[in-house]
Chains A and B, each alone.
Chain A
């Protein structure tokens, strides 16, 4: 067969290949068409993650370097969003702040939701005493208001980025376990699980092959919705001075410094970090709502 012929034969496939973008790309395009607001939210989160990744490249100044001549400089001029109480550039600190917020948010969500999901599934599948005890533990943990539990854990662990992640995981696990457990309980009764049990599949296989994949959608929804909670809680704890150490630039510590200083001197210091937090949470919420509608109509309006 001549090379040209082979190309000609392959053409329809190539053409189809061109029209059919790879599956993940198609999924994104499809999602954006159905849920433009959700896609916008996803875009906000993606941009913030990107900013966090390339922070050293795009920050106009050193976020740690004080400038004695620019203390409380108003927005505009050399420092685009002004300077703080030691003359450090607010914009650069905001950009570096995205690193902590996104890192803490994403890592705690990934780990917290995973542990919670496994706990929820096992609790539902094993049942009996194990389920009873786990659920009472979950009840007890859920009794503590988020900020108070966070304060308690942070005072035990001490202020650091990793400890904030730890505290957030402890906050998320019971919430995830509760939701996943109720889902797993209904899946457990489906015919295909009963069939797998009937042919003698091991419990581990049933949990991982048959129940886990069906919980996946719920976990994705929970992750996006919880991301907003994680970002707010990190900022709140850092604001109270028990979260991220005060020398690390984060949106929460920036607001703390702004509130500690005489705020009316430079009100913009109290505005920008809050806008950043609200924007991140807003993006995550929009994305979460849209994911819920697309992936699981049953959860709608909850």
Chain B
């Protein structure tokens, strides 16, 4: 196991380094000089002298060689310093501290909702294969995989407004100070975000269950007279859940993309809306911090999933 962990870690570090280079390179190619943007203002109405421009470039550090800029950025990152927002000069870290928990809460809710709904759905449609309940599930999962997340989000809002004359409260409430309002705001975005994964995970659970139910040890369990639900839950489900755990983990990382769309639609003040606003303002420091965090988050989740899988299924370790 130790060798497996070390091997996996050896893959993790160079990838993170490459990710930082890519994010940094992407931001440098972005058209527009941040110093010029600050001086001109959002509408381009400001005026400036060459001296002011040079001073600001020096202050932002954009006049130094690229490699020095990169080095400084990474060095600061290692010390937990994400730099200052180019937009309003406040530390990027402060803004992220406010926004990140919101996005994480949304993602965790979405993945919990989808696993809690999808796994029973998959199990039922596997043990009742080719009955009406299996067909209904199949229609649901096929449409769920096809319908884009942001459209589901729009439909949820339209549905709520039209049939219930109700919209989630607009003023965002903190999870810890006002959990009731917070739940009202977060439950529908989480459902919309999780919808795709419900379909995906249910489909996977069903096929994994069907495979496991044909195994010899399930037949043995049945023939020694165990009750059906013990066979299904203790013998079959336990083994069928292995691929499901992997996929749920990977989907959790992938949710970081869908979160941007869902936050934009439901006006949730998380990192997704922050990313969109920052892109609009060309706030390099903020954009690169968010994109980097998303990538590192995905890489970390993938590594944890791999390690978990290696621990749960010894065959993986020696493969």
Contacts and interface: CB of A to CB of B under 8 A. Distances in A.
A271 B152 CA distance: 10
B19 A282 contact: no
Interface residues of B, number: 49
Residue from A137, A151, A158, A228 with most neighbouring chain B CB atoms (10 Å):
A151
B298 A144 contact: yes
Interface stretch (B56-64, B79-87, B156-164): B156-164
A140 B149 CA distance: 25
A155 B279 contact: yes
A273 B22 CA distance: 35
B307 to A, nearest CB: 16
B218 interface: no
Nearest to B149: A236
Contacts of A203: none
A232 interface: yes
B30 A263 contact: no
Contacts of A232: 148
B237 interface: no
Given A236-B261, A240-B261, A278-B147, A301 B207 contact: yes
B145 interface: yes
Contact of A156 (B30, B154, B207, B299): B30
Contacts of A286: 142
Contact of B31 (A156, A267, A271): A156
A265 to B, nearest CB: 10
Interface in A276-293: 277-279, 281-282, 285-286
Interface residues of A, number: 42
A264 B211 CA distance: 46
B294 A145 contact: yes
A274 interface: yes
Interface stretch (B125-133, B169-177, B249-257): B249-257
A140 B296 CA distance: 10
A143 to B, nearest CB: 4
Nearest to B258: A147
B137 to A, nearest CB: 16
B261 A239 contact: yes
27 contacts: A139-B11, A140-B15, A143-B15, A143-B295, A143-B296, A145-B253, A145-B254, A145-B298, A147-B260, A148-B260, A148-B294, A152-B23, A152-B291, A153-B26, A155-B30, A155-B287, A156-B26, A240-B261, A255-B154, A264-B162, A270-B155, A274-B154, A278-B148, A278-B151, A281-B148, A282-B143, A285-B146
The 4 residue pairs across chains A and B that have the minimum distance between CB atoms: A145-B257, A274-B151, A147-B257, A140-B18
